[in-house]
């Protein structure tokens, strides 16, 4: 009896260890194509479910001065980061940033997909929170973050009143 119980516990522990050590499954590119304030929580929760290695949440960057933007959609420049181009379009409503659409983001290999599917929702979340391009770097996605910020700032500059 004790021996069979020990075997069951050992098998269960090995299963837990194997599940913990398994690499996260990457999401498809469509998961990060468009994120707005209304669907941000869904995108973030879906990403977190698929990425067992998510870092703990960190505080958003400090909000900068209040800047007003004209309503509509403004596209930023396409910024190459060594792995591909990042380009965003900013949706403005009521003079505030209400959504970000990724027009381009590297997705041509599994590593880029994994990094960008993890980083993109966080970048958008921080942008919506601070209403500017003054956001924190995403650890492990520095090149994507820098390209995103450059494209975002270009879009915001063209949308300023």
Q: Over the stretch 57-114, which tens digit does the pLDDT of each residue have?
A: 444 454 445 678 999 999 999 999 999 999 999 999 999 999 999 999 999 999 999 9
Which residue, chain included where needed, has tokens 């400090």? 62
Kindly indicate whether the domain formed by 26-159 is annotated with CATH number 1.10.490.10: no
Alpha-carbon separation of residue 119 from 106, 116, 122 (angstroms): 12, 5, 5
Residue 159 φ then ψ, to 5°: -100, -5
- Rounded distance between C-alpha atoms, residue 71 and residue 75, angstroms: 13
- Whether the per-residue pLDDT at 128 is higher than 70: the answer is yes
- Whether the per-residue pLDDT at 27 is higher than 80: the answer is no
Q: What is the pLDDT of residue 1?
A: 61
Percent of the chain exceeding pLDDT 70 equals: 59
Asked if residues 86 and 151 have their Cβ atoms less than 8 Å apart, the reply is yes
Banded pLDDT at 7 (limits 50, 70, 90): low
pTM over 0.85: no
Which residue, chain included where needed, has tokens 């522990």? 13
Calculate the average pLDDT of the chain. 75
- Whether the per-residue pLDDT at 28 is higher than 70: the answer is no
């Amino acid at each position: 009896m004790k021996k069979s119980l020990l075997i069951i516990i050992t098998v269960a522990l090995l299963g837990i260890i194997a599940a913990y050590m398994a690499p996260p499954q990457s999401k498809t590119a469509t998961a990060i194509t468009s994120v707005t304030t209304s669907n941000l929580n869904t995108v973030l929760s879906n990403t977190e479910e698929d990425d067992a290695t998510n870092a703990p949440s960190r505080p958003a960057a400090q909000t900068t001065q209040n800047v007003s933007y004209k309503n509509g959609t403004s596209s930023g420049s396409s910024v190459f980061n060594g792995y591909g181009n990042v380009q965003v379009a900013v949706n403005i409503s009521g003079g505030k940033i209400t959504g970000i659409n990724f027009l381009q983001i590297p997705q041509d290999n599994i590593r880029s997909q994994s990094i960008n599917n993890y980083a993109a929702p966080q970048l958008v979340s921080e942008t919506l929170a601070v209403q500017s391009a003054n956001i924190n770097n995403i650890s492990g996605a520095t090149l994507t973050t820098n390209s995103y910020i450059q494209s975002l700032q270009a879009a915001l500059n063209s949308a300023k009143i």
